Structure 1
Amino acid sequence: MSEDPITCEVRYRIDASALSEFKAYAQTWIRLIERHGGTHHGYFISREPPSGAGVSFRGLGKDGGNDIAIALFTFPDDATYLRYRDAVAIDPDGIEANARYGKNPPFSSYERVFLQQLE
């Protein structure tokens, strides 16, 4: 088990018509992560690029879709992250959130990536 900080990126596909519900979902998980030892860096949603902002490496890069939201949060180490997972499963707010959003999530899919800082 690593004692280095662990950052998680969660990338969601969202529906613009469910944005208010996604915001409520985001606020819930920010509170839960911070309550149980993590630092939440926020949720970010896609927006239009500035006019004239092309990609740097033509043929390799492309603009992403406008239906993306990203969450970033960090825990001090693997053990703290695993304790958070256990704690949120018995936290009344975590139980409520899983019941509320498990049946009808405000996103169509998500993927997560665990990250470490490049040194």
Structure 2
Amino acid sequence: MISCTVRYEIDPDQLDAFEIYAKAWIHLMTKLGGTHHGYHLPYEGPNDIAYCHFSFPSLADYEAYRAKMWDDPDCLRAYAHAERTKCIRRYDRSFTRPLMDGSTLDELNL
């Protein structure tokens, strides 16, 4: 499994527009085969930073999703919304391999 974290720099005056965009992508990601772990919107601290996290079984599955989304009219509508409202100033993606299972200290020989 791979996970992607997207760090967004958003326009704080367009937070409502960004939330609409985020809700759409939670649905779209699931529709296109990913597992969305939610968006994390500004609350305390910087008012222009948001995050989202999602996973795919493999990098190949993620790349297939990226190809499909450019042909999906709903994905294009979501992108058009972000462009029209200018709610996103910039974003960066990071890919990680999640570690989901813990172990006792004895199991780890600590």
Regarding TM over 0.5, the answer is: yes
One of 56, 66, 70 as aligned partner of 2:51: 70
Whether the 8 Å contact between 2:11 and 2:89 is mirrored in structure 1 is yes
Q: Name the amino acid aligned to 2:8.
A: Y
Number of aligned pairs?
Answer: 100
Q: Say what the alpha-carbon RMSD is for the aligned residues.
A: 1.8
Q: Say yes or no: does 1:43 pair with 2:39.
A: yes
Structure 1 residue 46, shift from structure 2 partner: 2.8
Q: Where does the alignment leave 5 or more consecutive residues of structure 1 unmatched? A: 49-63
Unaligned runs of 5+ in 2: 101-110
Secondary structure of 2:88's aligned partner: coil
Superposition TM-score, scaled by structure 2 size: 0.80
**Matched residues in 2 for 1:103 and 1:18: separation?**
11
Write the deviation string for residues 38-76 of structure 1: whole angstroms up to 9, x where unpaired: 01010002322xxxxxxxxxxxxxxx6332100000011
Q: Does 1:6 align with 2:2?
A: yes
For CA contacts below 8 A with separation 6 or more, give which structure has more relative contact order. Answer: 1
| Partner SS, residue 108 of structure 1 | strand
**Percentage identity across aligned positions?**
43
